Amino acid sequence: MSAKTLARGHRQERRSESPAFDPTPGKLIEAAGPVFAEHGFRAATVREICSRAGTNVAAVNYHFGDKLGLYTAVLKESVRASKVSVMEEVLRRKAPPEELLRALIKARVQTANRAGLPDWHFRILIHEMAQPTPAMSRVFQEIGRPIFERMLGLIGTITGLPPHDEKTRLCAYSIMGQVFLYIMQGPFLARIWPELKMTPEQLDRIAGHIADFSLAYLHSVAAELRAGKQGVKNGKPANH
């Protein structure tokens, strides 16, 4: 998603004040991404961002409230650039839960292929993991939470467990952990093992492996749950 598209939401909020097109929010977002990626949120300065954007320093407060508001907008763009729209499209399909989970994993793993995506999108997330800010929680609640909730629903349907059962959540975290290994450590892994070069074809194979590996366990949980219920039905205590 382009900075101009993201900035449209900010312009709409101020339409009553300034109905004419204002390119300033988009310029600020485009300039702020590389600055935040280079310095991190805390060390980045509004003055440098505005200098690169060709605006005065008051523009950040006017359009975004403060530096954190601008950073949140930039972080949203980074997250949305990582195939969020593809994952949302996957979850709108009518298909068996196993097929949807497999497609969701594939869409997420493919974000490890950052061809054509400015490097700052990746580097800003590295800074966020090293020094978390309140912005990530906001972005996750708005963008990531709905996808995570659907993922819990898919896992729960496959295993027969409630979506918010502890084991369901642990399964979701395990799947995401496998995926994030390749997203965050892909370049490092490719240096150690050149055969792991993060090409689209290789990432498809990796996604297939993660899906096969994860679904095998989810199906074993479902089988264990069914066996336990059958044992109770036959008057035998369930195994723990």
Question: Which residue among 38, 58, 79 closes a domain?
Answer: 79
Q: How far apart are CA 25 and CA 60, in angstroms?
A: 8
User: Residue 115 has what pLDDT?
Assistant: 61
236 vs 73: CA distance, rounded Å? 57
Same domain, 176 and 63: no
The whole-number pLDDT of residue 113 equals 73
Residue 214, in any domain of the structure:
yes
CATH of the domain at 138: 1.10.357.10
In degrees, rounded to 5, the angle at the alpha carbon of residue 110 between the alpha carbons of residues 104 and 111 is 100
Three-state secondary structure call for residue 137: helix
Q: Are residues 95 and 213 in the same domain?
A: yes
Q: Which of 79, 103, 120 is the last residue of a domain?
A: 79
Closest CA to 47 of 32, 64, 37: 32
Res. 185: pLDDT tops 90? no
Mean pLDDT, rounded, of the chain: 86
Instruction: Write out the two tokens for 11.
Output: 């312009």
What is the per-residue DSSP string for 156-184? HHHHTS-TTSHHHHHHHHHHHHHHHHHHH
Which pLDDT does position 208 carry in this prediction? Answer: 97
* pLDDT recorded at residue 2: 52
Same domain membership, residue 190 and residue 104: yes
Tell whether 211 is covered by a domain: yes
Choose between 163 and 1: higher pLDDT.
163
156, 41: one domain:
no
> Are both 86 and 127 inside the same structural domain?
yes
The verdict on residue 23 lying in a domain is yes
For residue 67 the two structure tokens come to 């530096």
110 and 68 housed in the same domain:
no
Q: How far apart are CA 230 and CA 237, in angstroms?
A: 10
Global confidence as pTM: 0.77
Structure tokens at 86: 């593809």
For residue 10, the enclosing domain spans 3-79
- Asked if pLDDT for residue 15 goes beyond 50, the answer is no
User: What's the pLDDT score for residue 38?
Assistant: 93
Instruction: Identify whether 225 is part of a domain.
Output: yes
Listed range (2-11, 51-60, 165-174, 203-212) with the worst mean pLDDT: 2-11
Q: What tokens were used for 76?
A: 């949203």
Percent of the chain exceeding pLDDT 70 equals 85
pLDDT band at 12 (very low <50, low <70, confident <90, very high): very low
Calpha distance 238→229 (Å, rounded): 7
pLDDT, one tens digit per residue, over 83-114 is 677 888 898 999 999 999 999 999 989 877 76
Q: What is the DSSP letter of 239?
A: P
Out of 16-20, 71-75, 98-102, pick the least confident: 16-20
Q: Which residue has the higher pLDDT, 22 or 134?
A: 134
pLDDT at 234 over 80: no
Which tokens is 171 given?
């399964």
* The domain boundary residue, chosen from 79, 113, 133: 79
210 and 156, same domain (yes or no): yes
* Same-domain pairing of 67 and 91: no
> What is the total count of domains within the chain?
2
